[in-house]
Structure 1
Amino acid sequence: MNTLAILCLLCLTFGLSQQTSQDDEWQTWKQTHQKSYSNYKEEMYRRKIWQKKMNHINVHNNRVDKQYTLQMNRFGDQESMTKKKLIPQLQRPITLKQDNLVSSGDAAAPTSFDWRTKGVIGAVSNQGQIGDVEAIVAAESVASLQAIKTGQLFNLSAEEIDDCGCGEQLLIKDIFGCIRSKIGGLCTTQTYKQSPTQTCNKESCQAVGMVSGTNFIPHGDEAEMGKAILKSPLMVYVDASHPSFEMYSEGIYAEDSCSQSQIDHVLQVVGYGQRDNKSYWICKNSWGESWGINGYIWIERGRNMCGIASLAIYPY
């Protein structure tokens, strides 16, 4: 057998071995996440998405210039979990409620801060593909504010926010003011009873989460975010449309392709920290504890990464 034939045989053997390995990984992933498909065509379509993401993960994790890593998760066979929306220019002046901000005369801010250590952050939610993430994070934000004020942390109803017309208040609308004026406060998830027609049923329960309105952080101002978060966790809108976000595992997330104006997801910022002289925001997601760092992601601080400071709000 000549040298060329031997090389061809080796290449064929390697290719078959690689294909077998990928087949095994695919089968293991399906079993782990209990995936099944209606027919062969559907499975091949899903596998193509999965393979593209797997290739992206492998290339990314082999790069030495990245400060975060990726891993395959249950979203591996899905197209983007989110749908982008445009943040327009603010249409009116934003007045911050000054007693909810740290003034310049206050003591120097700590180098790290985490509301989770103070018992005012609830468990990580799992919104699924159809959950209203705005309502989820708004409910979490009201719950955190209530816990800061009273020492009692409740699991407040995102469904009530949706049913009563305060969901989808995106783009400078006063979502927390809406909760106050249209609902009067939020009930717990255990006590709120959804109506069959998904209309507002606030009379079905007693509100325990009270709020007065919405404060807006000036556009792109992470310094003000740093002040505000010492008083309350923040609700932020970000661009989460990239495979790197969906497959995030750990480390400080910085995606060069991220947009600061095209946003599609909402997070709760619960604090900030530093690692290797790099600053980051500690952000709570709503995709379950198996995603990211037990349900959280560290997003680079200081560059308005993925628009995290383009529309940041908090309740008072």
Structure 2
Amino acid sequence: MILWRFLAAVSFAVVYGDLNDNFDDFILRYGRPYIRGSPEYAYRMSVFNESLFRHRQRNSLAVNTWDAKFGVNKFSDMTQQEFAEQFLTNAIQDKDKYVYHSMTFNDSTLLYGTATCGMSLDWRKQNIVAAVRNQEKCGSCWAFSVVETVESAYSKKSGTNPQPLSPQQLISCEPKPADGCKGGDISLAMSWLVKTKTVVVAENVYPFNGGSGDTKPCITDIPQVGLRLLDFGKKNFQETEKSILEIICDYGPVSVAVDAISWQDYVGGIIQHHCPGGSLDHAVQIVGFDLSGPVPYYIVRNTWGKDWGLDGYVHIKYGDNMCGIAKEVVWVRDVEYVNEAENRGSSKHV
């Protein structure tokens, strides 16, 4: 394997230029500690080389000028296995038996409004979407996605600016089958919040500290000031993807589970293929859509930092269940502000 990587690196350098110089530029840009001449440098350069070949292969499949672009980013020195282990999670099996909120899977309760948003909608422009965050080495995308959708829902209803909530509270405190930095589920997390009437506090009250990949113990001795989820919806829309647009229009941004293994190399454009959605291994938030161009797409907020993709976002083609984006859609139907410190359990409903 090492010999193959070395020969591949040499052949790439002959055709495409000095691989060492390209890799050194990467090291400088992303602050890697690799020292030229060391075994680690050689190994990571070979991984980097494999990434370059993968970028070229995927870019060669482009069908139009709006297609996704793949290239060098902060993940280019990671193997696909390393990337999956650090940033993606395994789906929870038989999760229906863990659902606490009886309304979650009852289709009769999934009623949509009649709001009309036209051919495009971007909730960022309505100031109900907070800044892009970074889950770092913690497989906590599910927790970030849930708190982001809760905070956006309250911002939309109350007319106030979005206040970032604490993903760490869910990471550390939600019980099994959730597994902290090793993974969780967006619908189960919302179900747990409703059943336990948990008040999700602000991020500055319960800061994220799982960046190293370790799940920290739950802290309960915190002021009960924040948002309480009252009701939510969850449904598979593979056959009726248009309904996702209606929900986004009526309720605001939604949480979704996706297949993100091909996102490692994404740098821009609209993902239109090579993303089948067979395994849902990541959770994100859809904050809008644009159907006005030749390729309609969702606007998706990720949690890998602003230095990934389109300033932390990715565009996914609408209409083909691309990346499995329509399989598990979860949205907030009702949320309230709670300040038990002042009102001893009373709340402000909006």
Settle same-fold status: TM greater than 0.5. Answer: yes
Structure 2 counterpart of 1:236: 256
Aligned residues of 1:217 and 1:224 also touching (Cα < 8 A):
no
Worse overlay, 161-170 or 90-99:
90-99
- Asked if 1 retains the 8 angstrom alpha-carbon contact of 2:197 and 2:228, the reply is no
SS in 2 for 1:290: coil
Shift of 1:237: 0.7
Query: Which residue of 2 is the match for residue 154 of structure 1?
Result: 163
TM-score, normalised by the number of residues in structure 2:
0.75
Mean CA deviation greater in 301-310 or 141-150: 141-150
The answer (yes or no) to whether the contact 1:174–1:214 under 8 Å persists in 2 is no
Output aligned runs, 1:253-264, within 5 Å. Answer: 253-256=271-274, 258-264=275-281
Within the candidate set 267, 271, 276, 1:249 is matched to: 267
Q: Do the aligned partners of 1:239 and 1:265 also contact (CA within 8 Å) in 2?
A: yes
SS where residue 314 of structure 1 aligns? strand
Deviations 1:237-293 (A, max 9, x none): 111112xx112122111233x333311111100010036421111000111111111
Which structure 1 segments of 5+ residues have no match? Answer: 1-13
Residue 188 of structure 1: CA displacement?
Answer: 0.7
Q: Which has the larger radius of gyration?
A: 1
User: Which residues of 2 match residues 191-270 of structure 1 at below 5 A?
Assistant: 191-192=205-206, 198-220=216-238, 221-230=240-249, 231-242=251-262, 245-256=263-274, 258-270=275-287
Runs of 4+ in 1 over 6 A off after TM superposition: 87-90, 193-197
Aligned mates of 1:255, 1:201 — CA distance in 2? 43
Per-residue deviation, 1:108: 4.7
Could you tell which deviates more after superposition, 83-92 or 288-297? 83-92
> Paired residue for 1:282?
299
Match of 2:90 in 1: 85
How far apart, CA to CA, are the structure 2 residues paired with 1:194 and 1:311?
Answer: 26
Q: CA deviation at 1:178?
A: 1.2
Look up the match of 1:76.
76
Partner AA of 1:297 in structure 2: V
* Structure 1 residues 63 and 144: alpha-carbon distance in aligned structure 2, compared to 1, 3 A threshold: same
Q: Secondary structure of the residue that 2:242 maps to in structure 1?
A: helix
What amino acid is aligned across from residue 125 of structure 2 in structure 1? T
1:127 corresponds to which residue? 135
- CA-to-partner distance for each residue in 1:116-136, whole Å, 9 max, x for gaps? 111110100111122411111
Query: What residue in structure 2 maps to residue 291 of structure 1?
Result: 308
* Percent of aligned pairs sharing the same letter: 23
Match of 1:95 among 97, 104, 107: 107
Paired positions, count: 296
2:168 is paired with a residue of what secondary structure? helix
Q: Where do 5+ consecutive residues of structure 2 fail to align?
A: 1-10, 98-104, 334-350
TM-score, structure 1 length as denominator? 0.82
**Deviations 1:81-113 (CA, angstroms, capped at 9, x unpaired):** 2346358788595336445x22xxx36541001
